[in-house]
Amino acid sequence: MDYEVFLLSRIEEQYSAGATTTDAVAHGMARAGRIISTLTAILAVSFFAFGTASISFLQLFGIGTGFAILIDATLVRGVLYPPLPICLVRS
């Protein structure tokens, strides 16, 4: 479930091949984006399925966890995390 493994391995492959840091991050995101999106969708749907339970705790858990996974994959890993390797290398 750790998307960073897919993302960083693709970035590192491009960087080791001689790409600049900015290009490596861009190509790494492009190559790992489909995998991360698919994993996120499968995991979120499986947790949203708990929303159909008859027990209110399971409903709240499933819906809350499903939204947390979507927010984590889109906002944190897709928007905030990719610039981090660039900032670390340039500083």
Q: pLDDT category, 17, cuts 50, 70, 90?
A: very high
Q: What is the pLDDT of residue 31?
A: 83
69 SS3 class: helix
Q: pLDDT over 70 for what percent of the chain? A: 84
Residue 76's Cα: distance from chain center in Å? 7
Distance CA 46, CA 65 (A): 10
Distance CA 51, CA 73 (A): 20
Q: pLDDT category, 65, cuts 50, 70, 90?
A: very high
pTM above 0.75, yes or no: no
Distance CA 6, CA 16 (A): 16
What confidence tens digit (pLDDT) does each residue in 37-64 have? 888 889 899 999 998 988 999 999 999 9
Q: pLDDT category, 12, cuts 50, 70, 90?
A: confident
